[in-house]
Chain A
Amino acid sequence: MAATLRDVTTYDLKLAAPLAAGFVLFFVTPLVILLALSFQTDPQGGHYGLTQYVNFLGDSFSLGVLGSTLWLGVKVTVLTLLLGYPVAWLHQRSPGWARGLIMLLVLLPLLTSVVVRTFAWVVILGRQGIVNATLSWIGLIDTPLKLLYTEGGVVVALAQVQMPLMVLPIITALSRIDPNFADASSVLGAGHWRTFRKVILPLSLPGIVAGCLLTYAAAITAFITQSLIGGGQMLFMPMYIYQQASTLQNWPFAAAISIVFLVSVLVVVSIFNALGRLSRGYANA
C-alpha cells in the first residue's frame, strides 16, 4: 500500500516537471535578476547598495503614486463587490435557462480582449461619448462632463473589466449554501432581508473574500485600462514602472519600485488570505 502511494507521488512529480521548469525559467529567474538589478546604484552599472530604495521611499511623488494605486484598488474592489454581489445572487435565485444567460453575460468580458473592452469605455466616457450625449439630450447638462481621464472613469472601467473575478467566486460560495437554510430562516419568522443579512451573507463570506482578493490584485496591476482611461494626468504604479524602464532607461530604479510594489501587493494579499481563512472557519464552524 505504502509503496503504491509513493509510486503515485513520483509519477505526479514527473508530470509537474515541465511546469516547474517553466516556472523557474520564466518567473523565478527574472525575479532574481530584477531583485539584483534593484540594488544597482547606477543605471550604468557598477556599485550595489540601497540607493534606489532610499530614493523611492524618500520621494513624496513616488510614495504618492504607490498610495494612489493601492487606494485605486480599494475603490475598484468596493464598487465591483457592490455591483457584483447582486448579480451572483440573481444567478443563484434564477431558473435554469436564466442562469445560463446570466453566466454568459458575466463571462462575456473574458471573451474579448482587454484592449477592446477598454476602448469601448473610451467611447462611452468621451466628450462626445454615450454618457455625455445622453445627458445633454435629456437636457441635464449643457457642456460635456469630463469623465474620461478621471479617476472615477478608471474605477468604473476597471470594475466592469474585473467583474467576472468577483462574481464567479461569489456564485460558487452561494451555490454551496444549503437551500434549506433560507427555508429554515423564513419559517422561523425572518423576512427576506433578515434571512439575507443573518444567514446568506455570512455564509457567502469566503466567496466575497476570494472575489475581493482577485479583483484587487487585478485592478492595481491593470496597465492597459489604467493608462488608457486615466490618460497622461494620472499615474499609477504599472505605468510609473514602465516609464522608468522604457522611457528613462533607469532600470535599477524601475526594478526597485517593482519590488516595492510587489511587496505591498503581497502584504495586501496576505491580509485578504487571513480574512479568507477566518471567514471560512466562520462559515464552516
Chain B
Amino acid sequence: MVSASPNGPASPRGQTLLLDGITQRYGTSLAVNEVTLDIRGGELVALLGPSGCGKTTLLRIIAGFLAQTKGHVMVGGKSVDGLPPNRRSVGIVFQNYALFPHMTVAENVAYGLDARGVDRATQRSEAQRMLDLVKLGHLGDRTPRQLSGGQQQRVALARALAVNPSILLLDEPFAALDKNLRLDMQIEVKRIQRLSGITTILVTHDQEEALSMADRVAVLSQGRLEQFSPPTEIYDAPDSLFVNTFVGSANLLGGVLVDSDRSAGRVRLDAGGLIETRAPKGDLQPGSRVTVCLRPEHLSVDPVGDDAETLNGVVEMGLPLGATVVHEIRVGDGTAVKVSEPRIQRTDLLAPGTPVRLAPVAPRLASVFAAA
C-alpha cells in the first residue's frame, strides 16, 4: 500500500471501469435498462436507489456472475464480457460477508492467494499484512463465528483486497451494522479505499451513506440511471423529480412557469406567491404546469407582511430537533410544507394557528420539473 492522503483526490492508479449501455432482462421485465457509467480510476462511486431498482443486478454483472443481455463492461479499457468471475480481478464484500465458516480468519484472507498458486510463506505474510491493514492482525487464528459483525466485515474487506483486484465491489456492506459501528466502518472503508487507490463501487439504498462516502453518486430508479454526479450536485441540482425527492427531503408545490432563461426561472405557485427558481429541467414553455421542489432548509418562516405576492400559511406544528427547528405550515392550496431552520436563529417555537409568510432564504434554490 502506497501512502496517499486519506482525503486526497482519487488515485490515478486504480483501473477505469466503463459500463456501456448495460441492459439486463429477466423474462419480459427489465431489471437494468441502458445504464452507462464512466468511472475514473480510483474513484468511489455509490449506486443509490430504492429496493428493486437493479443495484445488485448491476454489481453481479460487473463481477461476472451474470451475463448482461446487452452492453459491455470494460475494465482499464479492455472488455471483460467473456471472462468468468475468477478471471475478472474484482473483489467483492457481500452484504452478509460470506466468510468461509470452516476456515480461520487468516485462511479466509489467504484463500484468493492460494487459488492463485502463491506459496505458503507468502500467503501467510500477505494475509497478515492485510489483517494489519484492517487492524485485526491479532485475530488471524480465530474462526469467523468468533468475530463481531464489524470485525467480520473487516475480514471480508481484507479477503477481497488481498488479491489486489482492479475493482472493489461493496454490496450494502454496512446494512447489517448498528448505527455507531456503521459510521466507524464507513470511515474505515473510505480510509482503506483511499490508501489502496482501488476503483470502488458501493451499492446502497442509504442516501446519507452515498452522499458522505462517494466521489460520485449514480442514482437508479427502476433500472434506469437518473443522475450520475458528485454528491453536492445530486443534492443541490437534482436532474429529476425522482432524484430530488429520493435524496434528502423536499416540499412539492404545484405552479405555472412564468418565464425562464438558462440560469433561472420564475414560477407562480398555486398556493400563492411568485418564486425565483433554478433553470427548469427540460424543454418547458412559459405557461406550462410545473412542480417546484423546495427543501425544508431553503425556506424561512417570517411574520405576515402586506405584500400580496407571497406564500402565506398557518403553523400546524413546531418540533425542536436538536440543532434545528422544524415547522409544518399549511399553505394556501392545502399542502403541508416543512421548514427547517437553525435553532440559533429561531429560539422560540411558533404556536399552532399563527399566520406566517414563507420566503426562500436565497434566490434560485428551488428546482422546477414538468408537472407529473
Contact = CB atoms under 8 A, between A and B. Distances in A.
Nearest to B112: A188
Nearest to B144: A285
Contacts of B116: 189
A231 interface: no
Interface stretch (B83-91, B204-212, B325-333): B83-91
Nearest to A284: B101
Given A186-B84, A187-B90, A194 B101 contact: no
Nearest to B171: A180
Given A189-B116, A189-B163, A184 B94 contact: yes
B85 A187 contact: yes
Interface in B89-104: 90-92, 94, 96, 98, 100-102
Contacts of B91: 187-188
B370 interface: no
Contacts of A184: 92, 94, 98, 100, 159
B92 A284 contact: no
B25 interface: no
A285 B163 contact: no
B96 A180 contact: yes
Contacts of B85: 183, 186-187
Contacts of B143: 285
Nearest to B65: A183
B174 interface: no
Contacts of B84: 186
B63 interface: yes
Contacts of B112: 188-190
A280 to B, nearest CB: 11
Nearest to B159: A188
B101 A285 contact: yes
27 contacts: A180-B98, A181-B98, A181-B100, A183-B65, A183-B85, A183-B94, A184-B92, A184-B159, A185-B100, A185-B111, A186-B84, A186-B85, A187-B63, A187-B64, A188-B91, A188-B112, A188-B115, A188-B160, A188-B163, A189-B163, A190-B111, A191-B86, A198-B111, A203-B102, A284-B101, A284-B145, A285-B102
B115 A189 contact: yes
Contacts, number: 69
A185 B163 CA distance: 12
Given A285-B101, A285-B102, 5 more contacts: A184-B100, A184-B159, A202-B102, A203-B101, A283-B102
A189 B86 contact: yes
Contacts of B92: 183-184, 187
A188 B88 CA distance: 9
Residue from B65, B101, B143 with most neighbouring chain A CB atoms (10 Å): B101
Interface of B: 63-65, 84-88, 90-92, 94, 96, 98, 100-102, 111-112, 115-116, 143, 145, 159-160, 163
Residue from B64, B65, B115, B163 with most neighbouring chain A CB atoms (10 Å): B115
Residue from A181, A183, A189, A190 with most neighbouring chain B CB atoms (10 Å): A189
A72 B116 CA distance: 42
Nearest to A194: B115
B65 to A, nearest CB: 6
Interface of A: 178, 180-181, 183-191, 194, 198-199, 202-203, 282-285
Residue from B63, B85, B94, B143 with most neighbouring chain A CB atoms (10 Å): B85
Q: Give the top 7 A-B pairs by smallest Cβ distance, nearest first.
A: A188-B112, A180-B98, A189-B115, A190-B115, A186-B85, A184-B98, A285-B143
Contacts of B145: 284-285
A202 B143 CA distance: 15
Nearest to A205: B102
Contacts of B163: 188-189
Contacts of B63: 183, 187
B101 to A, nearest CB: 6
Contacts of A189: 86-87, 112, 115-116, 163
A276 to B, nearest CB: 15
A183 B111 CA distance: 13
Nearest to A189: B115
Residue from A184, A186, A194 with most neighbouring chain B CB atoms (10 Å): A184
Nearest to A188: B112
Contacts of B100: 181, 184-185, 198-199
B115 A178 contact: no
A181 B116 CA distance: 18
B86 A187 contact: yes
Contacts of B94: 180, 183-184
B242 to A, nearest CB: 30
A195 B98 CA distance: 14
A130 to B, nearest CB: 41
Residue from A178, A184, A188, A202 with most neighbouring chain B CB atoms (10 Å): A188
A219 B160 CA distance: 46
Contacts of A199: 100
Nearest to B96: A180
A283 B101 contact: yes
Contacts of B86: 186-191
Given A187-B88, A189-B86, A282 B65 contact: no
A183 B98 contact: yes
A198 B88 CA distance: 20
Nearest to B145: A285
B111 to A, nearest CB: 5
Contacts of B96: 178, 180
A222 to B, nearest CB: 34
Contacts of B65: 183, 187
Contacts of A198: 100, 111
A178 B102 contact: no
Contacts of A181: 98, 100
A285 B87 CA distance: 30
A198 B145 CA distance: 18
